[in-house]
Amino acid sequence: MRKFLLLLYLFPCIPALAQDTARYKGMTVNLDEHVVKAKRIGFDVNGFIKRVEEDTTFYRAFKNLRLINFTSDNDIRVTDKKGGKTIASLKSRTKQIMSGNCRKMEVLEEKTTGNFYNRKGDYNYYTAELYANLFFTKGTVCDDGGGTDKGSLARHKSQLKQLIFNPGKPISGVPVVGNKVAIFDRNLMRFYDFSITSENFTGTDCYVFSAVMRKNLSGIDRAEIVYDELITYFNKETMEIVGRKYSLSYKTLVFDFNVRMNVQMTKLDDLLLPALITYDGTWNVPFKKRETAVFTAKFFDFAK
């Protein structure tokens, strides 16, 4: 179970009342008045939802980080159980430099507090360890390197990609909760309210697909799902993802976790890229201290 919890580290207002509904493979979807108008002049609701389910632009955006120069501000804070007091932290600015198909990272500045590192210089916390694995580069790395890693960390990375880049689909190899993330599964749809709305997101006119856990679910039903909400913002003109919000939680007598993550995208010419990632989460498993942490990753100064 700790393996799944490692995965999580990675990952104008909506009108109050829906004006119409549509269906997609047994899913009832509420539409706001703007989407209803768009539907009347050709907006394909079923095609849009299928695009949500099968989208790959989000995945490509993170892969694109391995192709360009950029600078990032990294802020990781491990807090006490209540989330108020910081017990260890890292703030740094790093720069990725490309040379052909190889990349390396320079640490421009760094400050840590508490026991962020152990005596060997390794990370004391899983949040930091996985963050570094995803966004930091040690030495010179050529190509993607994605198909060469072996072992449990490689499996964690692969499962994390499924969770972040293919939300709503089951995660193979993860016990207990692997199938509980599949919001498009017919057996799980009944636990969610689905909607498509029209909103402005960071200056971009968007269609927004939302899957929000229904209120007042019984304890038995609540135990069948992991996502509290999954909200995705699509640029109306290009249908590329410009933002995504996640909220996941699960609780048993043995373990529990509660994670929230937001992602904002940007573009460099024709490349879609992540610009901002925020994470706020806590998890607890047997024989380990509860770990509560927040982080913010900002990517900028992109250059080919």
Which pLDDT band, with edges at 50, 70 and 90, does 155 fall under? low
pLDDT of residue 180: 84
Which pLDDT band, with edges at 50, 70 and 90, does 15 fall under? very low
Burial 212-237 (b: 16+ CB within 10 A, else e): ebeeeeeeeebeebbbbbbbbbbbee
Answer whether residue 269 shows pLDDT above 80: yes
Rounded mean pLDDT, 275-294: 87
pLDDT of residue 174: 62
Q: Are 233 and 244 in contact (CB under 8 A)?
A: yes
Rounded mean pLDDT, 258-275: 94
Domain coordinates of the chain in residue numbers?
Answer: 2-303
Answer whether residue 127 shows pLDDT above 80: yes
Q: How many CB atoms lie under 10 A from the CB of residue 202?
A: 13
Percentage of residues of the chain with pLDDT beyond 70: 82
pLDDT of residue 275: 97
Between vectors from CA 22 to CA 167 and to CA 240, what angle results, nearest 5°?
Answer: 40
pLDDT of residue 150: 53
pLDDT of residue 163: 65
Between vectors from CA 185 to CA 285 and to CA 182, what angle results, nearest 5°?
Answer: 30
297 vs 160, which has greater pLDDT? 297
Answer whether residue 10 shows pLDDT above 60: no
Answer whether residue 178 shows pLDDT above 80: no
pLDDT of residue 119: 92
Q: pLDDT tens for residues 229-247?
A: 999 999 999 999 999 998 9
104 vs 154, which has greater pLDDT? 104
Q: What are the angstrom distances between the C-alpha of 126 and each of 3, 76, 226, 288, 289?
A: 10, 11, 21, 11, 11
**Which of 33-42, 56-65, 66-75, 134-143 tops mean pLDDT?**
66-75
Answer whether residue 154 shows pLDDT above 70: no
Which pLDDT band, with edges at 50, 70 and 90, does 298 fall under? very high
Answer whether residue 98 shows pLDDT above 60: yes
Q: How far is CA 46 from the centre of its chain?
A: 24
Contact residues for 238 (Cβ-Cβ < 8 A; gap 6+): none
254 vs 15, which has greater pLDDT? 254
As given in the structure block, the two tokens for residue 277 are: 């990632």
Q: What are the angstrom distances between the C-alpha of 14 and each of 48, 157, 206, 219?
A: 18, 34, 12, 29
Q: pLDDT tens for residues 179-203?
A: 788 888 888 989 999 999 999 999 9
What is the overall mean pLDDT for the chain?
84
127 vs 68, which has greater pLDDT? 68
Q: Which of 40-54, 81-95, 153-167 has the lowest mean pLDDT?
A: 153-167
pLDDT of residue 166: 67
Answer whether residue 11 shows pLDDT above 60: no
Tally of residues, the chain? 304
Question: Cα–Cα distance between 203 and 223 in angstroms, integer?
Answer: 37
Which pLDDT band, with edges at 50, 70 and 90, does 146 fall under? very low
Which pLDDT band, with edges at 50, 70 and 90, does 158 fall under? low
